Amino acid sequence: MPPQNKFYSEAVVDPLAHMYEVYADDLYAYGLSILPDINMIEDAIHDVFIDIYANEARLNKIDNIGLYLKTAFRNRLFLLLKKSRRFVDIIKDMNDLADEKDSQSDWIRNEEDENRLQLVNGLLSGLTIHQREAIHLRFIEGLSLDEISAILRINKRSVKSLLQRAIQKIRKNVEKFPVKVQ
């Protein structure tokens, strides 16, 4: 039997609204773990949901809608980010043309770029985007390593080492910025 998306059963009056109700918080939280630009995050969420609406037939066949949404959202967000970066870069560092070219080719692999989006203080300071994402998906959303590897499009071993390094940094940060635990 082909997997049926529970949001498209007869009982749901407005599947898209229902889906939004269930997943919007998660997507916001995931987006904010990647970058602090809430407008861009909302644009990405908007686009993903409209895309779902335009392609309902295809979506009906997807069983893990949460995973699908996260992946689609992430792709969209990075695309928007990449497109906007040209602009942001111009404003931020006016004299850095060489760097601008780098960011156009493949910014995510560019260590310098990642560092620019790092947080200055707090628990997750010093973590790269990838590390923050992995931490979010693993510990806040409770996803399995397989699911994370599907979303981040890296293999399971890389997810593991990503998490390992991230936790080590977090542990150091806990000492630096103590958090109260009961």
- Contact string 133-162 vs other proteins (x = CB under 8 A): --xx-xxx-x-xx--------------x--
Q: Where are the alpha helices (DSSP H) in 55-155?
A: 56-59, 65-92, 97-106, 111-116, 129-135, 145-152
**Of the candidates 12, 16, 67, 152, which one interacts with other proteins according to CB under 8 A?**
16
Residue 35 touches other proteins, criterion: CB under 8 A: no
Lookup: tokens for 175: 């000492």
The one-letter amino acid at 136: H
CB of 104 to other proteins, least distance (A): 9
- Residue in this structure with the two tokens 């590390």, named with its chain if needed: 131
Q: How many residues does the chain have?
A: 182
Contact 48, 73 (CB under 8 A): yes
Give 30: exposed, middle or buried? Use CB within 10 Å, 0-12, 13-18, 19+.
Answer: buried
Q: Which of these ranges, 64-72, 83-91, 106-114, 147-155, lies near other proteins under the rule CB under 8 A?
A: 83-91
Lookup: tokens for 168: 């080590």
Lookup: tokens for 69: 């949404």
Residue 25 touches other proteins, criterion: CB under 8 A: yes
User: 137: Cβ–Cβ under 8 A, 6 or more apart, which residues?
Assistant: 30, 70, 143, 147, 148, 151, 152
Lookup: tokens for 160: 């593991």
**Of the candidates 8, 20, 125, 152, which one interacts with other proteins according to CB under 8 A?**
20
Residue 171 touches other proteins, criterion: CB under 8 A: yes
Residue 73 touches other proteins, criterion: CB under 8 A: no
**Of the candidates 3, 4, 22, 46, which one interacts with other proteins according to CB under 8 A?**
46
Interface with other proteins by CB under 8 A: which residues?
Answer: 16-17, 20, 24-25, 28-29, 32-33, 38-39, 42-43, 45-47, 49-51, 53-54, 79-80, 83-84, 86-87, 90-91, 94, 97, 100, 122-124, 135-136, 138-140, 142, 144-145, 160, 163-164, 167-168, 170-171, 174, 179, 181
